[in-house]
Amino acid sequence: MLLKDFLNALFPLPDDGQIIDLSYLPPEQILIVPPENRRGIVDVKCTDQQGRVFIVEMQMYWTPSFFNRMLFNASQAFVMQFDPGEEYKLLQPVYALGIINAIFEQSDDWYHHYKIVNIEKTHRTIEGLQFVFIELPKFKAETSTAKKVRALWLRFLKEIKGELEPAAELSDYPPIKEALTISKEAAFTRAELVAYQAVMMAISNEKSIVTDSIELGIEKGIEIGREKGIEIGRQAGREEGRQDEKLAIAGNLLSVLDDNAIANITGLPLEMVQSLRGEALPRSDEP
């Protein structure tokens, strides 16, 4: 999943706390606060296997209220986890990512990580809300603090233009290669999109024909096998019937012919005829 790879790259998650699986949540958040409802809409909202909530917002132009909007939406996401009667300890952390295609701080830093800390003893923190803000124009791949995958994703956001071919190191990374395909499709004109869809439809049709042919072949093979099995069963039945007939004839001849003669007439093995004669002999306790 592209989003999982993207969030693992950009959020400061520990190695043993990486996102393994994601489920998308409705991007609209409604907080019930009389006398009116407060509503926030984020670009992406999802939860992972631990129940942690992640929200992502992208901003083309910087406004001072963006921090407050992110705080509002992250707080909503935190509160909306709570159902009446539940324990507060069940609330999971919320991580908010804001990607801004503008510069809002006059420094060389492009990656800004915020969380609730003790002012005097900053190693003491309150878990619950964390924020990451990225000033995309200031990002440089050679920055020493940039991880490789993080750098690739941010280069994708910053460098990719519809008319330019991506750098090889971007297209060599499978998740970004997939994202590049998606971004190209999104940039198609209507005519290009129709043509692209026609090609993809043709490929799908060809795959369907091959798949259907294989399935039809399997069904035909099963049918042939079933018919063959029925014929084999019939043949076995006929053989068994003939064998029973031979045994009946041999039994009738036991009193008038010797064993070799009976074997020659019926085609039964001599041992079988001898076995029949042994079964036909009266027991020692019979008169």
DSSP-assigned letters across all residues of 234-281: HHHHHHHHHHHHHHHHHHHHTTTS-HHHHHHHH---HHHHHHHHHHHS
Query: Total domain count for the chain?
Result: 2
Q: Is 234 within the bounds of a domain?
A: yes
In this structure, are residues 31 and 79 in contact, taking their beta carbons and an 8 Å threshold?
yes
Among 88, 113, 138, identify where a domain stops.
138
Are 133 and 211 contained in the same domain? no
Among 138, 163, 185, identify where a domain stops.
138
Q: Is 173 within the bounds of a domain?
A: no
What are the distances in angstroms from CA 245 to CA 84, 209, 274, 275, 277?
83, 53, 17, 16, 16
Cα separation of 171 and 180, whole Å? 8
Are 128 and 214 contained in the same domain? no
Are 8 and 126 contained in the same domain? yes
Q: Is 186 within the bounds of a domain?
A: no
Q: Is 239 within the bounds of a domain?
A: yes
What single-letter amino acid sits at 142?
E
Are 119 and 246 contained in the same domain? no
Cα separation of 287 and 283, whole Å? 9
What DSSP character marks residue 55?
Answer: E
Among 138, 156, 177, identify where a domain stops.
138
Residue 197 CA, chain-centre distance (Å), reads 24
Cα separation of 76 and 233, whole Å? 71
Give pTM, 2 decimals. Answer: 0.52
Q: Is the peptide bond before 64 cis (omega within 30 degrees of 0)?
A: no
In this structure, are residues 150 and 9 in contact, taking their beta carbons and an 8 Å threshold?
yes
Q: Is 165 within the bounds of a domain?
A: no
User: pLDDT tens digits for 157-207?
Assistant: 766 665 556 676 676 667 777 776 766 666 555 554 555 455 556 555 555
Torsion sign, CA atoms 235, 240, 245, 246: positive
Q: What is the DSSP string of 9-29?
A: HHS---GGG----EEE--SEE
Residues of the chain with pLDDT under 50: 30-40, 144-145, 192, 196, 283-287
179: tokens are 């994202």
Q: Is 171 within the bounds of a domain?
A: no
Are 114 and 213 contained in the same domain? no
Q: Is 275 within the bounds of a domain?
A: yes
Q: Is 12 within the bounds of a domain?
A: yes
Are 20 and 118 contained in the same domain? yes
Are 107 and 230 contained in the same domain? no
In this structure, are residues 129 and 75 in contact, taking their beta carbons and an 8 Å threshold?
yes
Are 134 and 222 contained in the same domain? no
Residue numbers of the domain that contains 213: 203-280
